[in-house]
A and B are shown apart, each in its own frame.
Chain A
Amino acid sequence: MAGAAAKVGGAAGRVLGFGFDVAQHVPGVEPVLAELGQRGAETLEAVDDLTERVLQAVIGRIVRTAVGAVDLTAIVVDNVDLDAVAERIDVDKIIGRVDLVGLADTVIDGVDLPRIIRESTDSMSAEAVLGIRSQGMHADDAVAGFVGKLLRRTPSESGAE
């Protein structure tokens, strides 16, 4: 059956081909056939474009929906041995690509080191001076109190608060 159909199809194709060849040699028909062939090709291209665009839109939508519905991180964590992946990573190679000196310079430029040192030393020296002054005041009061006791003065007379 299929063989017969193929034979019939082949014969029809040959007949059509013969008819096309004959028609091409008939004056006046050839330009019309060329125009028809070009129009057919344009139509096929337009259909091809449209199909591609539709497919892109549909597939994009499907993928977005699927990705949104699935927790990819959880899937990776559950199914991928991240330790094994990490072991294969050549850290030295990555570090070799990084300009560490440039990076350090950038970080140091961003940090105002002199200001930090200045502020910390300022606060330290200010605290030291305050400590010396208040210790001196207490010593003054202690001496005044001692002398006041020796001379039997009242506290208000000895100048201490």
Chain B
Amino acid sequence: MSAPAHRPAGIVTRSIASGVDIAVVLAIMAGIYLCLAFARLLFSPQDFAWPATGAVMSTGIFIVVSVLYLTGCWAVSGRTVGAVMMGLRVVSRNGELVGWPRALLRAVFCVMFAVGLFWAAVDSRRHSLQDIVLRTTVVYDWQPESHPAT
């Protein structure tokens, strides 16, 4: 099957990719929690108890991990794990990878206002609100390496 042209991706693939990314972030959080528990067990094995998890703390850690994860992935390769699975890549309007500042802003925007993704279903150019504000786009790109569309 030949790879498709670099055209904007739609709401279904982007939603699935986002779902996979949420699962990845949750897995990272579980890993952090287990590391914390093992560290506690290592230093005070006598009075070991599983670390308490408050809702505010968990939400805060979720936001921080998500922002770091998305920023790193988008700035380095334009693709998160979910995007790799669905063959997507976040690029700027000229087809090049987004820089670190824009990747950070987009990550914060996406995490804090995830609903903005659904504008991609309505928008004629398939842009989410984040894409419109930050002048980015999500394209189908099945190649492992980034090849800006000419």
Interface, chain A (partner B; CB < 8 A): 129-130, 132-134, 136-137, 139-141, 143-144, 147-148, 151, 153, 157-159, 161
Complex contact A134–B1 (CB within 8 A): yes
| Contact present for B122 and A161 (CB under 8 Å) | no
Residues of the A chain whose Cβ atoms lie less than 8 Å from the Cβ of B86 = 132-133, 136
Q: Which residues of A contact B7 (CB under 8 A)?
A: 159, 161
> Which residues of B125-150 have CB atoms within 8 Å of chain A's CB atoms?
125-126, 140, 142
Provide the residues of chain A in CB contact with B1, threshold 8 Å.
130, 134
Chain A residue numbers with a CB within 8 Å of B95 are: none
In the complex, which of the residues A134, A144, A151, A157 contacts B10, with contact meaning CB atoms closer than 8 Å?
A: A144
**Closest Cβ–Cβ distance, residue B103 to chain A (whole Å):** 23
* Assembly CA distance A129 to B84 (angstroms): 9
Let me know if A140 and B11 touch, CB within 8 A: yes
Which residues on the A side are within 8 Å of B8 (C-beta)? 159
Residues B13 and A140 in contact, CB atoms below 8 Å apart: yes
Does B4 sit within 8 A of A, measured CB to CB?
A: yes
Alpha-carbon distance between A142 and B105 when the two chains are bound, in angstroms: 31
Looking at the assembled complex, report how far the CB atom of A161 sits from the nearest CB atom of chain B, in whole angstroms.
7
Quick one: which of A130, A139, A140, A157 contacts B124, CB cutoff 8 A?
A: A157
Question: Contacts A132-B86, A134-B1, A136-B86 known; A147 to B13 CB distance under 8 Å?
Answer: no
Q: Which of B9, B10, B85, B125 contacts A129 (CB 8 A)?
A: B85
Q: Given the interface contacts A129-B85, A133-B87, does A143 sit within 8 Å of B10 by beta carbon?
A: yes
User: Is A136 touching B126 in the complex (CB atoms < 8 A)?
Assistant: no
A143 touching B11 by the CB < 8 A rule? yes
The reply to whether A140 and B9 contact each other, CB–CB distance below 8 Å, is yes
Given A157-B124, A159-B124, A161-B7, also A137-B85 (CB < 8 A)? no
Question: Which residue of the partner chain A has the closest CB to B124?
Answer: A157
> Which B9-58 residues have a C-beta within 8 angstroms of A?
9-13, 16
A129 to B81 alpha-carbon distance, docked (Å): 12
User: Which residues of chain B come closer than 8 Å to A147, judged between CB atoms?
Assistant: 121-122
Q: What is the CA–CA distance of A161 and B126 in the complex, to the nearest angstrom?
A: 13
